[in-house]
Amino acid sequence: MFGTIYSVVVLGATVFFGCALVFTHLFRGEVLRRSLHFYLLAPLRREVLTLAKYAAGLLAVCTLFGGVTILVHPMYIVTATHGDWVVLEMFRYLGITLLGCTAYGAVFLLFGTLFRNPILPVAVLLGWETLNFLLPSGIRIASVSYHLKSLLPVPGPVAQAMGVPAELPSTGVAVMSLLILSAVAVVLACLRVRRMEIRYTED
């Protein structure tokens, strides 16, 4: 029961849209408020500024959505006789939530630095993540949700309906893939911010 709710509501909706809202506005929000130049004119490397903003956003969403995962999980556990198992499962879901925040946060941070209006790329990514299960296995690996859902203790509702695909990555591969994706996206965002020029008149 909790696995289905977590896969659809927490991971598929709350974490995705929450990270989109927070991370796309880390720089885009400053542009709209016409305050980004204060940061860029400060005696601080832009790469450090980008990393600091990413870390602050990541701390916020991990605290919020990690707390939601911890609070909601016991509500759907009906067997109290397996206390150790319940705790271990909760920490596994918590780890998936934190990885999701890390990966989605990095991608949306990059979107916020690349696009004047990140709504369209966010919508495209939502479609990609939602319909990922329909894609060939070779293309499916280029998806955050593919790796996140391979870490679930129980298959999500789509996997249960269609059968769990045999080509799911191992836990180590999934975790490393998400961390590498996050690192690449953050590095690209740093490079973009380093070359960023402010033109408030265009916004």
How far is the C-alpha of 82 from the C-alpha of 14, rounded, in Å? 28
Tokens of 146: 């593919």
pTM: 0.86
Residue owning tokens 């009906």? 78
Sign of torsion over alpha carbons 188, 42, 52, 10 = negative
Contact (Cβ atoms closer than 8 angstroms) between residue 11 and residue 149: yes
What pLDDT is recorded for position 161? 47
Residue environment code for 47-60, b if the CB has 16+ CB neighbours within 10 A, otherwise e: eebbbebbeebbee
pLDDT tops 50 at residue 136? yes
Tokens of 153: 């203790």
**For 93-124, how does the pLDDT look when each residue is reduced to its tens digit (9 = 90+)?**
999 999 999 999 999 999 999 988 889 999 99
Q: What are phi and psi of 57, to 5 degrees?
A: -65, -40
Contact (Cβ atoms closer than 8 angstroms) between residue 156 and residue 3: yes
Q: What percent of the chain has pLDDT over 70?
A: 83
Give the domain range for residue 163.
Answer: 2-202
What pLDDT is recorded for position 200? 56
Q: How many domains does the chain have?
A: 1
